[in-house]
Structure 1
Amino acid sequence: MIAGVPFFPQDDFQCGPASLAGVLNYYGLRLTPADISAEIFSRQARGTLDMDMVFYAQRKGMKAEQYAGSIEDLQRNLDSRRPLIVLIDQGYWVYQSHHFMVAVGYDESGFVFNSGKEERKLIQRDAFLKTWEKTKFWTLRITPP
């Protein structure tokens, strides 16, 4: 479990700014989800676009890389005390319901996330994989320059 990753409960459709705020504050930037939302939230999309999250972190002077992750990569980053933002799809059939959350730890049963209004929420490994796979394992790693 990574200690010191700030948790920001999200408002409606604000999972992107809340996730970014948690990771950016972990690295010492003092930004609120409201600060971030004012710059990148899309009312039309009813959320935050994935590339806007990457570009926002880069504009704040951070290294930001979006890629297709894996369980091994996720564990390796968490072991190195690097929280990752992942995108899952909780939708059914053809209806998508995307959600960003911050991976902060894992154990033998699953992964621990700061997600929505829940801090350190344990999601069983198989349940997480099923929803993460639907986004092609979308992962955002943010690190200091």
Structure 2
Amino acid sequence: MRRAPRLIGALTLSCGLLVMTGLQGCASLQAHQTRALLAQPPADIPAQVALSATPFFPQSELQCGPAALATVMSAAGVPTTPDALTSSVFVPGRGGSLQIEMLAAPRSHGLVSTRIQPDMQALLHEVAAGHPVVVLLNLGLSLYPVWHYAVVIGYDLPAGDVLMRSGTTELQRLPLTTLEHTWVRSGQWAFVVLPPDQLPVSANEADVTDGRVTFERLAKPAQAAQAYRVALQRWPDSLVLGLGLGNALFASGDVRGAAEVLVRVARQHDSAAAWNNLAMARLKLGEHEAALQAAQAALKRAQASEPRWVSAAQATLDEVRQTLSGK
């Protein structure tokens, strides 16, 4: 069973304690998204939301990354503390936590980290769905950035405010315009952490797929299968999600279930990878003739249009033939 790797970029972080209210008068930055939101609030979310039960972990200096992670992981049902996460995400030489480690740490605890779309509407929709959101902010200037992770836990559209767990402040009320100013400076980077049976409401197919592929590498196979199955309910035509579910079921020992998924994926997409993995499942089930047909289909498809799979498909076909010859 093979998976294509995805690369995630990283950005060095150094948490700072710059007073955010000092940024509210920055006239050169235009909060276009916030103005549009306040002028015409979304009709499909409440005007006010406060996820008051979200845990709070006051951060010590430079520890905003572990504190933010502990907040969202505990809210997702996996209680932890910043101290327990520091060794996983804090890089002393960088004076902070890298984005790639922030995304990876929850996955090793059975939770799925997923990037959300970089816009204010996506942020508010996640919070309205009950999902605290980790945001990366630049509290400084372009020439002198001060990176900071905070957790958005609510908003008040009539007042034009957002509610956050941030630094040593358990409930920080901040103008949405200020949040947008500081968030834009980080490229509006944000993510949610959820159990594998839940999906972000705003993330697109690419981000959800990326989150689940990387989750599979660290999670138990049964958890990965659950994560893929839920995502497939929203995007049933996804080749990658279908392959992921089949592979995860195979790894969990449910070879029959893997074969049932992979045969649908192979027929739907005529994918060399799907035919190849189906052949492996059929072979393990002792269905040798069906395995041979799938392996032949995999090699044919690979030779026709997916050359990167030729070697693997040929190896699978050789293995199936060897098994048949030894019967």
Please tell me the TM-score bracket, short chain as reference. over 0.9
1:49 to 85, 90, 98: 98
Task: Give the C-alpha shift of residue 107 in structure 1.
Answer: 0.5
For the pair 1:140 / 2:191, whether they are aligned, the reply is yes
Secondary structure of 1:44 counterpart: helix
Secondary structure of 1:17 counterpart: helix
Matched with 1:91 is 140
Question: Offset of 1:142 from its aligned partner?
Answer: 0.9
Report how far residue 67 of structure 1 moved: 4.2
Identity of matched residues, %: 28
Question: What TM-score do you get using the length of structure 2 for normalisation?
Answer: 0.43
Is the aligned partner of 1:32 residue 2:87? no
Residues 4-38 of structure 1: CA distance to partner in whole angstroms, max 9, x if unpaired? Answer: 11000001100010000011111221211001002
Q: Which is richer in strand?
A: 1
8 Å Cα contact 2:132/2:151 also seen in 1:
yes
The structure whose Rg is larger is 2
Question: Unmatched 5+ residue regions in structure 1?
Answer: none
Find the aligned partners of 1:68 and 1:78 in 2 and give their Cα distance.
13
Query: Deviations 1:98-134 (Å, cap 9, x if unpaired)?
Result: 0000000001212110000001101111111111000
Q: Map Cα deviations across residues 18-73 of structure 1 (whole Å, 9 max, x no partner).
A: 00001111122121100100222100110010110101111111111124421111
For 1:60, the equivalent position in structure 2 comes to 109
Q: Which runs of 4+ in 1 moved over 2 A?
A: 66-69
Between the two structures, name the one with larger relative contact order (CA 8 Å, sep ≥ 6).
1
Bigger helix fraction: 2
Q: 1:68·1:136 contact (CA, 8 Å) conserved in 2?
A: no
Partner of residue 118, structure 1? 169
Structure 2 portions without partners, runs of 5+? 1-49, 197-327
Residue 82, structure 1, aligned to residue 131, structure 2: yes
Displacement after TM superposition at 1:3 (Å): 2.8
Pairwise CA RMSD: 1.0
